[in-house]
A and B are shown apart, each in its own frame.
Chain A
Amino acid sequence: MLKNVSQTISDIGVMSQRDIRRYFRLPQLLITNIILNVVLLLLFNYVFGGAIQTGGVAYIQYFLPGFLVQSVVFGSTQTSVGISEDLSKGLIDRFRSLPMARSAFLSGRVVADTLRYLILVALMIAVGYAAGFRFQGGFFPAFAGVWLIILFGIALTWVGVFIGISVKDAETAQVAGFVWVFPLVFASSLYVPIETMPSWLQAFANINPVTPMVDTIRALSWGTSISSSLWKILVWDLGIILVCLPLALRRYRLLAQ
């Protein structure tokens, strides 16, 4: 039993090492993604910063917490692409013929993606600090905020895993990823206050998990009260994982049909 657990952990480690190497060796996956995020962050801050009214708060203060969330949300689309590539290139058959833990192929990817989100979020915070952003609530709320973003990323990664294993083709996975990610990011409190949207869109934005996620990070970084948004996002995280993880595992098992 103990041997099984340690073997499973070792298998997940081996698989995540492989995915991490991939992220560092294919510049389009991590490096260009980082550059794109930095450029977007600076552009948004200096181009729209003066135009968008955010109720007296400096735009970078308003916008960076959302940007951190956005980098993770967009990042989760890479998960589907990686998984579907392994499927379409037949690598999956090799892995499935090995005596490795069955969960390792999928969870190794999630572990690697968690590390990727950490790198991405840490870098965005550093760039944000250079542009004037400050965690006004102190260290612990900031620390908690970063991990809440990572947890949200992990939940979305399982969505990405499910999509990747369902479409089995990298190009489709890329498109399928963006289809659900764009509405989530833009129809939320991430870029603009929800009150400025038409009422039907407000209804969507209010139930969109990105909204409580961003609101929580804002509160934590501003040092204000976090109200109900913390619970909302934790319920969302849990709900997404509880739905998508079994669906993804089921799809994985169905490969044998």
Chain B
Amino acid sequence: MSVTAQSDPENTCPNAFIEVAGVAKTFGKVRALAGVNLEVEPGIVFALLGPNGSGKTTLVKVLTTLLRPDTGTARVGGFDVIGQASEVRNIIGLAGQYPAVDENLTGRENLEMIGRLYHLGRGRARDRAVELLDSFDLSDVANRRAKTYSGGLRRRLDLAAALVANPPILFLDEPTTGLDPRSRLNLWEIIKDQAKQCNSVFLTTQYLEEADRLADHIAIIDNGAIIQQGTSQELKDCCGGETHVKMRLADRTQMQKALDALREIAPENMYQNPEMGEISFPAPDGTAVLSTVVRSLDAVGVELAELSLKEPTLDDVFLAITGHVAEEVPETDTSMKSGSG
């Protein structure tokens, strides 16, 4: 699945940056954003990573002109989100947390409507709808009402709608939440494609793997503030802990025997899970440790079922920085009442 580039002589890429300074937003007593500072370079995939309720959606809403911050300023593509809201809206596309498609219109009509509201003109809006339906594999269902679409189809239509104007800056609020693995991979391709066309992608996610795989730059948000940012590697280097060697014994009754044998090569921080027969410990030297482990255990007659090196993940980073894990059970959503009539 690929997205056709709009042949636009005016390259908006150099301006497609985002600057956020001291943005705070309070809803009643809830402090959603507590002074966010952020800079996002043009032409990259930027991931805002944080658990539910950390302020991700609020920040996206501020940047897409949907919410006014209480204090602070935010500029998108050089335009102020409050004073120059309509200029901002011209250069952004938004796919919110829940698909925002008109159920009573067909897929094609939805995209044509969005195109006309971006002032593409009737003919161009129609052509663009055809292009997008094609590249998002929606041509077969183009003339069916969105009401009949499955969740995955809706998501795709919603994303196509966000791309109608081929916006220099694309905002995706938890784009893969609730998607099946195949659709998720498709979406990742689309997002990478956008960045290749020098469009910026600003996405939020609570999946560490997603940020790791997609984003050139990651910011971690917790309780309404950015607590760490950098590339995935930088984050792992700074606060992610070390590479671990991890093994599982073929016979877990040999646990004590194995621990004694390993004591010589791994004097500290040995982690054990007797029930699973698992042992792990830091291995700063990397792969060299693997043969040492095998030899030591072989010498005492302990057989291994599994042996691997575990690179630090963003999970470790997140845990190290925030003291809690990022992925939580999604809250049941109350704003999605279906009420037709």
Contact = CB atoms under 8 A, between A and B. Distances in A.
A250 interface: no
B68 A28 contact: no
Q: How large is the interface on B (under 10, 10 to 19, 20 to 34, 35 or more residues)?
A: 35 or more
Contacts of A97: 64-66, 89, 92, 94
Interface in A78-127: 81, 84-85, 88-91, 93-100, 104
B86 interface: yes
B104 A99 contact: no
Contacts of A256: 65-68
A14 interface: yes
Interface stretch (B13-21, B174-182, B207-215, B331-339): B331-339
Contacts of A174: 341
A11 B337 contact: no
Interface stretch (A18-26, A142-150, A197-205): A18-26
Contacts of A171: 337, 339
Contact of B100 (A11, A90, A100): A90
A7 B119 contact: yes
B339 A88 contact: yes
A167 to B, nearest CB: 11
Interface residues of A, number: 35
Contacts of B103: 89
Contacts of A11: 117
A90 B335 contact: yes
A21 B104 contact: yes
B94 A25 contact: no
B340 interface: yes
Interface of chain B: mostly helix, strand, loop or mixed: loop
A257 B117 contact: no
B89 A93 contact: no
B96 A21 contact: no
B341 A81 contact: yes
Nearest to A22: B104
B215 to A, nearest CB: 22
A94 B100 contact: yes
A250 B122 CA distance: 31
B48 interface: no
B100 A93 contact: yes
Interface string A216-257: 000000000000000000000000000000000000000111
Contacts of B117: 11, 14-15, 95, 98-100, 104
A10 interface: yes
Nearest to B94: A97
A215 interface: no
Nearest to B103: A89
Nearest to A23: B104
Interface in A1-54: 7, 10-11, 14-15, 17-18, 21-22, 25-26, 28
A159 interface: no
A11 B118 CA distance: 9
B196 to A, nearest CB: 24
Nearest to B69: A256
B109 interface: yes
Contact of B337 (A91, A100, A169): A169
A60 interface: no
Interface of A: 7, 10-11, 14-15, 17-18, 21-22, 25-26, 28, 81, 84-85, 88-91, 93-100, 104, 169-171, 174, 255-257
24 contacts: A11-B117, A14-B116, A14-B117, A21-B104, A25-B104, A26-B340, A88-B335, A88-B336, A88-B339, A89-B338, A90-B98, A90-B100, A93-B66, A93-B100, A96-B65, A96-B66, A97-B92, A97-B94, A99-B89, A104-B117, A170-B340, A174-B341, A256-B65, A256-B67
Given A81-B341, A89-B100, A91-B100, 12 more contacts: A10-B119, A15-B117, A21-B104, A90-B336, A91-B101, A93-B100, A94-B114, A94-B161, A97-B64, A100-B117, A170-B337, A174-B341
